[in-house]
């Protein structure tokens, strides 16, 4: 099984929201881009919420996240996994990312959202116990996974749950968001 590593975070010193996945899948690792699998709905959701959809080049989507004060990272720094499925992660191979340093250099982070159950479970098991009380008190919430493996919810149900991200970044007015998505980068 291959030993894989995560990407550097997409972040800005002004970030107030942190979205955490577990570990990039094969398509993402090959493309060297977060959520690169064509059937993963993360960028479609971000397009509908903040104008960072797949119609934009990847670097423009990244800039849009940053401008909306959204940071993006993975809970795991490295692990061994035989496929792209979270269920295939070898628990004994997990090394978490350094969240103590991350939170110290990003003091404005107030809300942490997990893109699915595995990200939340790994954060609670491998990260939360190492954090100071200050960082343990961050608002944390699991959102439905945008992975194509999460077929139990429709796109509309996922989008409804993810709206909280737009609301917390001041992008909760969907009419304005739809207009922004039509603007060329």
Phi, psi of 73, rounded to the nearest 5 degrees: -160, -175
Task: Quote the domain boundaries for residue 65.
Answer: 3-179
Q: Give tens-digit pLDDT for 83-137.
A: 666 666 677 777 899 999 999 999 999 999 999 999 999 999 999 988 888 888 8
Radius of gyration of the chain (CA): 16
Q: Which domain CATH number covers 78? A: 3.40.470.10
Report the alpha-carbon distance of residue 34 to residue 50 in Å, rounded: 17
Q: Decide: 55 and 47 in contact? Cβ < 8 Å.
A: yes
Q: Say what the pLDDT of residue 178 is.
A: 39
Number of domains in the chain: 1
Residue 87: the pLDDT is 60
Q: What gap in Å lies between CA 28 and CA 23, rounded to an integer?
A: 9
> Greater confidence, 47 or 80?
47
| Catalytic-labelled residue, pool 40, 97, 150, 174 | 40
pLDDT for the residue 174: 46
Residue 185, pLDDT above cutoff 60: no
Would you say residue 108 lies in a domain? yes
Length of the chain: 185
User: Residue 17 pLDDT more than 50?
Assistant: yes
Q: Is residue 185 included in any domain, yes or no?
A: no
Average pLDDT over residues 165-173: 80
115 is catalytic: no
Domain membership flag for residue 34:
yes
- What is the structure's pLDDT at 83? 67
Nearest residue to 78 (alpha-carbon basis) of 122, 128, 38: 122
Does any domain span residue 184? no
pTM, full prediction: 0.88
Q: What is the DSSP letter of 91?
A: G
Domain contains 120: yes
Average pLDDT of the residues of the chain? 87
Token output for 28: 């993402």
Question: Taking a C-beta distance cutoff of 8 angstroms, is the pair 18, 69 a contact?
Answer: no
The reply to whether 137 falls in a domain is: yes
* Structure confidence at residue 85 (pLDDT): 60
Residue 107 lies in a domain: yes
Judge whether residue 175 has pLDDT over 50: no
Query: Could you tell me if residue 115 is inside a domain?
Result: yes
- What confidence score (pLDDT) does residue 93 get? 74
Asked if 81 contacts 2 with a C-beta cutoff of 8 angstroms, the reply is yes
144-155, pLDDT tens digit by residue? 999 988 888 999
């Amino acid at each position: 099984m291959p030993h894989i590593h995560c990407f550097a975070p997409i972040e800005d010193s002004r970030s107030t929201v942190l979205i955490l996945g577990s570990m990039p899948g094969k398509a993402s690792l090959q493309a060297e881009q977060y959520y690169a699998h064509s059937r993963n709905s993360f960028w479609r959701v971000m397009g509908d919420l903040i104008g960072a959809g797949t119609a934009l080049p990847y670097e423009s989507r990244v800039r849009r996240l940053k401008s909306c004060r959204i940071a993006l990272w993975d809970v795991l720094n490295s692990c061994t996994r035989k496929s792209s499925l979270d269920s295939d992660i070898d628990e004994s191979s997990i090394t978490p990312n350094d969240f103590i340093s991350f939170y110290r250099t990003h003091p404005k982070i107030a809300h942490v959202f997990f893109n699915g159950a595995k990200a939340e479970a790994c954060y609670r098991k491998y990260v939360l116990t190492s954090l100071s009380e200050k960082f343990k008190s961050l608002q944390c919430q699991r959102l439905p996974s945008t992975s194509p493996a999460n077929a139990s919810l429709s796109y509309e149900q996922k989008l409804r749950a993810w709206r909280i991200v737009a609301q917390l970044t001041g992008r909760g007015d969907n009419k304005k968001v739809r207009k922004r998505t039509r603007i060329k980068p």
